[in-house]
Chains A and B, each alone.
Chain A
Amino acid sequence: MPAAPRPPSYPAPAHPGQRGGAGTGTMAAPGAAGGGRSGAPAAEWGGFEDNMQGGGSAVIDMENMDDTSGSSFEDMGEMHQRMKEEEEEEEAEGEAGAGEEEDGEFLGMKGLRGQLGRQVADQMWQVGKRQASRAFSLYANIDILRPYFDVEPVQVRARLLESMIPVKMINFPQKIAGELYGPLMLVFTLVAILLHGMKTSDTIIREGTLMGTAIGTCFGYWLGVSSFMYFLAYLCNAQITMVQMLSLLGYGLFGHCITLFVTYNIHFHSLFYIFWLVVGGLSTLRMVAVLVSRTVGHTQRLILCGTLAALHMLFLLYLHFAYHKVVEGILDTLEGPNMPPFQRVARDIPVVSNAVLNTTAKAIALTL
């Protein structure tokens, strides 16, 4: 960036267009682009150019040189802000000058100091405001997430179905779509299914904490296990990014949703185990195959895939049995004293409801 020797005819804030013009030929292209970009507001700013020369401009010049923000868009925003502030400062100085004259007549030195104090306070406020608005527009910008939600319904449906089909080609790195819409919707669906499972018997135990637990469990699993797997993948030199990991794991929850949706309605233990193995196994195989295709080395592949498979399958097991016990408790209280006394072994369901549900399941199986 050109240092102090700057011809005074140039406006002090380092306008990209004019900076390019003042510099060497290599700066010409961005300079021209900057000039083109600044073409529209140049008319507004043109009026200030005359005012920027002289004593005030030197101070502003140093300020500009300290700033080395990379993005030219930020520069434009900053330039605009600085122009606005300088305009305000000009006005303030003009008023202050007039005020000073008046005050000076009456109050002498005191009036001058009051004006200066106010000016300094104003400047501090402007600087603070500028920094805050810059930070806000950088970080609280929702557009950061926009590319991850750029999907069509057909794509989402295709990916959902693909998440159950293990790939065969593991020597070639498989493509993972880095989108967040599908996984996010699947996590919310899982929360809804958990709630449904907790309330199938028409009685609520503790509505509030169950809801919080469901949301916390699902989101905690999705975000926590993804981060953990990403960390492991980093250790094992796997080629996968965080968003891809989130996406992969999120789509793996599709199998969980199906399994839980079916088995929360039909309390049939063998049915659950079959679903657990088949559906859970398929989605695990797919995730494992994709990860294997992106990792080199047998030990690393084993570590990554073993951990993922274990966590995935165990989560499904946990979801079924943790909330199944809650349902058992409800069924217990519903049936009342007419039931023959039975052993309260964990995971045994009462005989009568078992028979009813078994016959229901058999009837459905027969009709299918």
Chain B
Amino acid sequence: MRDLKAVGKKFVHVMYPKKSSALLRDWDLWGPLVLCVSLALMLQGGSADSKDDGGPQFAEVFVIIWFGAVVITLNSKLLGGTISFFQSLCVLGYCVMPLTVAMLVCRLVLLAGAGTVSFIIRLIVVGAMFGWSTLASTAFLADSQPPNRKALVVYPIFLFYFVISWMILTFTPQ
């Protein structure tokens, strides 16, 4: 129960990103795991080739999210960051939440039809969530860097969420 409440509190922090140390201090990887698994499950079955089963796609999404998060963490540590390895993983994982919401919305929109209008709606939604994710994680991670190097840390985060957003946007169910 205590763990659930901690996880819930962190989700709220991601939704309203203010600089608080609660997310950083007690890191946990439950939230990122749940988000990653749900995102990977929702991204399954999006191939034009019906011969493909959902296996490789789930693994790919999973690997990309965790590998990308590890690379960003290493990068921020090498640039002289004061944040620890798992804290950074925790923040990056929790900030995938807006994109998971975007994925849900995209799936619902695609139920209605896959035309130009739906594409524009999805583009706007995914774009907004991508911006939110990047801003949220920047609010937590950039503070741990020396002030003149924030851009160097923000860019890989931007790339990471861009790749995930692209996977979400170009998802078409079969």
In contact, B57 and A207 (Cβ under 8 angstroms): yes
In contact, A149 and B79 (Cβ under 8 angstroms): yes
Asked, given contacts A142-B77, A149-B79, A185-B155, whether A203 binds B48 with beta carbons under 8 Å apart, the answer is: yes
Provide the residues of chain A in CB contact with B15, threshold 8 Å: none
Contact of B64 among A149, A211, A333 (CB under 8 A): A211
Provide the residues of chain A in CB contact with B155, threshold 8 Å: 185
Please name the residue on chain B nearest to A189 by beta carbon: B159
- Expressed in whole angstroms, the Cα–Cα distance for A208 and B159 within the complex equals 18
Provide the residues of chain B in CB contact with A146, threshold 8 Å: 78, 80
Provide the residues of chain B in CB contact with A184, threshold 8 Å: 75
Provide the residues of chain A in CB contact with B163, threshold 8 Å: 191-192, 195
In contact, B74 and A195 (Cβ under 8 angstroms): no
Stretch at the interface among A61-69, A94-102, A150-158: A150-158
Provide the residues of chain B in CB contact with A207, threshold 8 Å: 43, 46-47, 57, 60, 167
The number of chain B residues with a CB under 8 A from chain A is 33
Q: How far is the CB of A8 from chain B (nearest CB, A)?
A: 47
Please name the residue on chain B nearest to A143 by beta carbon: B78
User: Which residues between 174 and 233 of chain A lie within 8 Å of chain B, taking CB atoms?
Assistant: 181, 184-185, 188-189, 191-192, 195-196, 199, 202-209, 211-212
B152 interface residue, CB < 8 Å from A? yes
Provide the residues of chain A in CB contact with B119, threshold 8 Å: 202
Q: How far is the CB of B70 from chain A (nearest CB, A)?
A: 12
A145 interface residue, CB < 8 Å from B? yes
Contact of B75 among A149, A195, A202, A206 (CB under 8 A): A149
What 1/0 flags go to B49-60 for Cβ under 8 Å of A? 100100011011
- Expressed in whole angstroms, the Cα–Cα distance for A206 and B51 within the complex equals 10
Provide the residues of chain A in CB contact with B172, threshold 8 Å: 202-204
B166 interface residue, CB < 8 Å from A? yes
Q: How far is the CB of A83 from chain B (nearest CB, A)?
A: 29
- Expressed in whole angstroms, the Cα–Cα distance for A145 and B80 within the complex equals 11
B148 interface residue, CB < 8 Å from A? yes
User: Which residues between 58 and 95 of chain B lie within 8 Å of chain A, taking CB atoms?
Assistant: 59-60, 64, 71, 74-75, 77-80
- Expressed in whole angstroms, the Cα–Cα distance for A146 and B81 within the complex equals 11
- Expressed in whole angstroms, the Cα–Cα distance for A185 and B46 within the complex equals 29
- Expressed in whole angstroms, the Cα–Cα distance for A202 and B116 within the complex equals 11
- Expressed in whole angstroms, the Cα–Cα distance for A205 and B52 within the complex equals 10
B170 interface residue, CB < 8 Å from A? yes
Provide the residues of chain B in CB contact with A188, threshold 8 Å: 71, 156, 159
Asked, given contacts A205-B49, A206-B47, whether A149 binds B162 with beta carbons under 8 Å apart, the answer is: no
Q: How far is the CB of B83 from chain A (nearest CB, A)?
A: 13
Prevailing SS type, chain B contact patch: helix
In contact, A212 and B152 (Cβ under 8 angstroms): no
- Expressed in whole angstroms, the Cα–Cα distance for A206 and B170 within the complex equals 12
Provide the residues of chain B in CB contact with A195, threshold 8 Å: 163, 166
User: Which residues between 139 and 168 of chain A lie within 8 Å of chain B, taking CB atoms?
Assistant: 142, 145-146, 148-153, 156
Contact of B156 among A185, A202, A209 (CB under 8 A): A185
- Expressed in whole angstroms, the Cα–Cα distance for A152 and B49 within the complex equals 45
Provide the residues of chain A in CB contact with B75, threshold 8 Å: 149, 181, 184
In contact, B78 and A149 (Cβ under 8 angstroms): yes
- Expressed in whole angstroms, the Cα–Cα distance for A146 and B79 within the complex equals 7
Provide the residues of chain A in CB contact with B151, threshold 8 Å: 153
Q: How far is the CB of A212 from chain B (nearest CB, A)?
A: 7
- Expressed in whole angstroms, the Cα–Cα distance for A286 and B77 within the complex equals 32
Contact of A181 among B152, B162, B170, B171 (CB under 8 A): B152
Asked, given contacts A142-B74, A153-B149, A181-B79, whether A211 binds B49 with beta carbons under 8 Å apart, the answer is: no
In contact, A204 and B47 (Cβ under 8 angstroms): yes
In contact, B170 and A209 (Cβ under 8 angstroms): no
Provide the residues of chain B in CB contact with A151, threshold 8 Å: 152
Asked, given contacts A206-B52, A208-B57, A212-B60, whether A196 binds B166 with beta carbons under 8 Å apart, the answer is: yes
- Expressed in whole angstroms, the Cα–Cα distance for A205 and B50 within the complex equals 10
Please name the residue on chain B nearest to A203 by beta carbon: B48
Known: A181-B152, A204-B48. 19 other contacts (CB 8 A): A142-B78, A146-B80, A149-B79, A151-B152, A153-B151, A181-B75, A185-B155, A188-B159, A202-B119, A204-B170, A204-B171, A205-B47, A206-B47, A207-B46, A207-B47, A208-B59, A209-B56, A211-B64, A212-B60
What is the interface of chain B, defined by CB distance below 8 A to chain A? Answer: 43, 46-49, 52, 56-57, 59-60, 64, 71, 74-75, 77-80, 119, 148-149, 151-152, 155-156, 159, 162-163, 166-167, 170-172
What is the interface of chain A, defined by CB distance below 8 A to chain B? Answer: 142, 145-146, 148-153, 156, 181, 184-185, 188-189, 191-192, 195-196, 199, 202-209, 211-212, 333
